[in-house]
Amino acid sequence: MQVQVLTLFPDMFPGPLQSSIVGRAMAGGLLELGVVDIRDHAHDNYRSVDDYQFGGGAGMVMKPEPVFEATEAAMAKLGSDAPVVLTSPQGRRLDQGMVYELAQMPALVIICGHYQGVDERVAEHLATHVVSIGDYVLSGGELPAMVLVEALCRLLPGAVGSSNSVEGDSITTGLLQHPLYTRPSIYRDWSVPDVLLSGNHAEIERWRRRQSLLRTFRNRPDLLQSAPLQPSDVAFLHANGYVKE
Ligand code: ADE
């Protein structure tokens, strides 16, 4: 997959992306990450990329021309059908479904928003996706871009050691992941649940499923509305106080 990130802070890249799974994917050629300085597409000698907002109000707005032209230059390299993601707290909240959709594409452009925001014509006429990584405001879209690249990279075939570890991922199943334990079986008087040491695989699977259900019910009840639940799951949840809305 080829990803071009457009940013006012190119020094922030590759940053943490050079470590771990993404770093390996880049070294192995599964992921190519290009970084474009939006300022290189400014029109004046001051390399201006922002301006006051029409209508008044605090905060500067990213000008459309450098963003459009940087994106068009990136698309000339990647192909005109590459999706264009604009990071913004005003966007649709990123979830694993959106990550799957974007991971199918051979190429992607990510525009990192900054300042008070980006001229709305970018969202209206250039971006195919406006994406927020959560209900909080960061100073810029660079970390959200890294979050998106990291999440995408896990889904590229061959990037994660065993595809099992992607398929069982929290959220991929529609539920939060069950608890995990490793050796030692007793640490500071806290022992691993007996069932995990029993060797009874059917019982282990049942325990894990129930733990996932309980955890999701307690921490993210919103996910239960759309999770694929078996009648036995619903019965278990009801027995533990869950009432479907
Ligand atoms: N830019 C600032 N905050 C953001 C957020 N939560 N998601 C995406 N981009 C952002």
Q: Work out the pLDDT band at 125, boundaries 50, 70, 90.
A: very high
Q: Is the dihedral of CA 117, 118, 120, 124 positive or negative?
A: negative
Q: Work out the pLDDT band at 171, boundaries 50, 70, 90.
A: confident
Report the mean per-residue pLDDT for the chain. 95
Determine the pLDDT at residue 172: 74
Closest Cα to atom 9 of ligand 1: 88
Q: Which residues contact 146 (CB under 8 A, 6 or more apart)?
A: 13, 15, 16, 17
> Check: CATH 1.10.1270.20 for 186-239?
yes
Residue from 7, 61, 88, 111 whose mutation best tests the ligand 1 pocket (most atoms within 8 A of CB): 88
Average pLDDT over residues 5-29: 97
pLDDT at 191 over 70: yes
- In the reported structure, the alpha carbon of residue 137 is separated from the centroid of ligand 1 by a whole-number distance in angstroms of 5
Q: The whole model's pTM is what?
A: 0.94
Taking only the tens place, the pLDDT of each residue in 75-91 is 999 998 999 999 999 99
Determine the pLDDT at residue 244: 74
How far is Cα 230 from Cα 224, in angstroms, rounded to an integer? Answer: 12
Residue from 7, 62, 85, 138 whose mutation best tests the ligand 1 pocket (most atoms within 8 A of CB): 138
pLDDT at 245 over 70: no
Determine the pLDDT at residue 110: 98
Closest Cα to atom 7 of ligand 1: 132
Taking only the tens place, the pLDDT of each residue in 152-164 is 999 999 999 866 5
pLDDT at 200 over 80: yes
Determine the pLDDT at residue 81: 93
Closest Cα to atom 2 of ligand 1: 138
The domain segmentation of the chain, as residue ranges, is 2-154, 186-239
CB contact at 8 A, 66 and 42: yes
Taking only the tens place, the pLDDT of each residue in 207-229 is 999 999 999 999 999 999 999 99
- In the reported structure, the alpha carbon of residue 119 is separated from the centroid of ligand 1 by a whole-number distance in angstroms of 15
* Ligand 1 neighbours by CB, cut-off 6 Å: 87-89, 113, 132-134, 136-138, 141, 144
Show the tokens assigned to 30.
Answer: 């599964």
CATH superfamily of 2-154: SPOUT methyltransferase, trefoil knot domain (3.40.1280.10)
Token pair 């459009």 in the structure block, residue: 68
Q: How far is CA 206 from CA 114, 210, 221, 236, in A?
A: 47, 6, 20, 11
Residue from 62, 92, 122, 132 whose mutation best tests the ligand 1 pocket (most atoms within 8 A of CB): 132
